[in-house]
Amino acid sequence: MLESITENLTNAIGNITRGKLSEGNIREGMGEVRKALLEADVNYDVAKAFCDRVTEQAVGDKVLKSLKPGEQIVGIVYNELVNLMGPVDHSIAIRRGETSIIMMCGLQGAGKTTTCGKLAKMLMAEGAKPMLVAADLQRPAAIEQLKVIGEQVGVPVYWEEASSSTPVKVCQNAKKAAKQQDCNVIILDTAGRLHIDDSLMKELIQIDNKLMPNQVLLVCDAMTGQDAVNSAKAFNDALELDGVILTKLDGDTRGGAALSVKAVTGVPIKFAGMGEKLDLLEPFHPDRMAQRILGQGDIATLLETAQRHMDADELEAQQKKMLEGKFDLNDFMKAMGQIQKMGSMKSIMKLIPGMGQLSQAMDAMEGMDPDKDIKRVKAMISSMTEDERRNPEKIDRSRRNRIATGSGADPAEINDLLKQFKDMSGMMQQMAGMGMGDRMKAMREIQNEAMNPNSRSMSQGKQRSKRGETTKDALREKKKKERQRQKKNRKRRK
């Protein structure tokens, strides 16, 4: 997600800050920034006001006469991006001794029912006892869907036959049922429509008036861009929203909804849906989002993801083995498994400062797919015997051929893997004997090597990219190819 806004915005800012800074240059360059925002589907007025605010601060003497005006301007853009989306309060007030009510609303397909389940799971982890309420009587399938989700999360679902009840009645009865079952939060899964209409709004306003929810949350689909923002405004006018949950932020969104919704409605995004699975709801952090949009990665989220998915004891055991030089191919395999649990390599790389570009470059290069590489390496190691994994030096020509046949790889690939593993083990042992400063330096060297996709360790086996190619070259090459393709298409149409 967000690749194109990141690229366009950083290019635009780069152009402003590269040359000699003057008021005229800045004003001119801000036109590019505005274009980048509009291309990302940011609301027109929001983009204009944003650029006006940045320009006003950037052309002042304080910036132009400062030591590093370029950095100051990047700082101004960052702050304004954060202000555009925040501040946000992630708490969902659960009152003691009474049944708290959370009402979810939104258009059909936005992700309401799924998000009810995610929210219940999140609240459970915080010690609450939620109950889900099937207040969408429009489609019989909606009740069934909520029941399935309730079962997956392990929370009760209150429902009534759609033919003999009304949404308000269901919610009122659910409140009573929650008391009896000792639940302290009810989450109302209300109906949606493909478009906002009067009867939908009337139904929601009725529930709002009768139940007086503690929180009304709007579920918005990030993929629908400005439509999502316009509907958010309509819902807010009718219901006074407390927050927005932006779903499908894992998808191919251009970022427009995330950047505009708070500015247009005054209601911040509290949480973001990052996938279909029920544990993929995250607090929305405007600062981290701004960092990502500016291509600066998101280390905070990376660390949180690592903590959530990696086993700390296992990590420590592996580290100890590494330092003692006892790290074998079994451990290597386990380490890769742990990384895979965090998500795809490419999604992880996007969170590391500077690595986002590398991941884009990989897209441009044929055969460059770190996730496929991990799978291949795992297949090769799986075809080794326990003894071979522990003592890779025993793998001779005939064993190598057997492993290659077993894993569908080329014998040369097995050689490469073994050599890489040997190099890596050597490097780790060397690092174990180093002081902190040298270790940092070595880490930087490893990172540099990773940043250059030509580096030996990443392009062995198959000749995947031409020599001397850097990330930027690869991006340029990708764009060139795209232009050629478009040209061809145009010719064909003629």
Contact positions toward ligand GDP, by CB under 6 A? 106, 108-114, 192, 219, 247-248, 250-251, 273-276
- Which of Mg ion, ligand GDP, none does residue 343 bind (CB under 5 to 8 Å by kind)? none
- Tally: H helices and E strands in the chain: 24, 8
Tell me which residue of 240, 218, 255, 201 sits closest to 6, measured CA to CA.
255
Residue nearest to ligand GDP (CB): 273
- CB 106, min distance to ligand GDP, A: 6
> Which phi and psi angles does 105 have, rounded to 5°?
-140, 170
Residue 113 contacts Mg ion per CB under 5 A: yes
Residue 75 annotated as lining a ligand binding site: no
Q: Quick one: tokens of 4?
A: 């194109």
Count Cβ atoms below 10 Å from residue 391 Cβ, excluding itself: 12
143 CA to centre of own chain: 30
Residue 113 annotated as lining a ligand binding site: yes
Q: Which is nearer to ligand GDP, 139 or 176 (CB)?
A: 139
Tell me which residue of 243, 340, 249 sits closest to 288, measured CA to CA.
249
Question: HEC string of 41-77?
Answer: CCCHHHHHHHHHHHHHHHCCHHHHCCCCHHHHHHHHH
By DSSP bridging, strand 100-105 and strand 215-221 are parallel
Q: Quick one: tokens of 108?
A: 């059909």
- CB 113, min distance to Mg ion, A: 3
Q: Which is nearer to Mg ion, 153 or 322 (CB)?
A: 153
Q: Which is nearer to Mg ion, 193 or 334 (CB)?
A: 193
Q: Which is nearer to ligand GDP, 87 or 109 (CB)?
A: 109
- Which of Mg ion, ligand GDP, none does residue 109 bind (CB under 5 to 8 Å by kind)? ligand GDP
- CB 450, min distance to ligand GDP, A: 29
- CB 151, min distance to ligand GDP, A: 15
Q: Which is nearer to ligand GDP, 87 or 251 (CB)?
A: 251
Q: What's the rounded Cα separation, in Å, for the pair 180 and 158?
A: 12
Name the one range near Mg ion by CB under 5 A: 1-9, 111-119, 176-184, 313-321. Answer: 111-119
- DSSP structure class, residue 222: G
Residue type, 327: F
- Give the number of residues in contact with Mg ion, rule: CB under 5 A: 3
Q: Determine contact, residues 15/29, Cβ cutoff 8 Å.
A: yes
Beta strands in 249-399 (DSSP E): 269-273, 281-283
Q: What's the rounded Cα separation, in Å, for the pair 187 and 158?
A: 10
- CB 251, min distance to ligand GDP, A: 5
Tell me which residue of 301, 305, 308 sits closest to 287, measured CA to CA.
301
- CB 125, min distance to Mg ion, A: 23
Q: What's the rounded Cα separation, in Å, for the pair 353 and 447?
A: 11
What residues are paired with 216 via a beta bridge? 103
Residue 146 annotated as lining a ligand binding site: no
- CB 48, min distance to ligand GDP, A: 30
- CB 293, min distance to ligand GDP, A: 19
Residue 107 annotated as lining a ligand binding site: yes
- CB 259, min distance to ligand GDP, A: 18
Q: Which is nearer to Mg ion, 112 or 400 (CB)?
A: 112
Residue 192 annotated as lining a ligand binding site: yes
Q: Using the CB atoms, write b or e for 217-247: b if 16+ within 10 Å.
A: bbbbbbbbbbbbbbbbbbbbebbebbbbbbb
Residue 367 annotated as lining a ligand binding site: no
Mark residues 123-152: x for contact with Mg ion by CB under 5 A, - for none. Answer: -------------------x----------
- Which of ligand GDP, Mg ion, none does residue 381 bind (CB under 5 to 8 Å by kind)? none
Q: Which is nearer to ligand GDP, 309 or 394 (CB)?
A: 309
Q: What's the rounded Cα separation, in Å, for the pair 432 and 425?
A: 11
- Which of ligand GDP, Mg ion, none does residue 250 bind (CB under 5 to 8 Å by kind)? ligand GDP
Q: Quick one: tokens of 22?
A: 């003057």
- Which of ligand GDP, Mg ion, none does residue 251 bind (CB under 5 to 8 Å by kind)? ligand GDP
Tell me which residue of 373, 378, 389 sits closest to 450, measured CA to CA.
373
- Which of Mg ion, ligand GDP, none does residue 47 bind (CB under 5 to 8 Å by kind)? none
- Which of ligand GDP, Mg ion, none does residue 114 bind (CB under 5 to 8 Å by kind)? ligand GDP
Q: Is 26 helix (H, G, I), strand (E, B) or coil?
A: helix
Residue 110 annotated as lining a ligand binding site: yes
Binding residue ranges: 106-113, 189-193, 247-250
Binding residue ranges for GTP: 106-113, 189-193, 247-250
Residues lying near Mg ion in the complex (CB under 5 A) are found at 112-113, 142
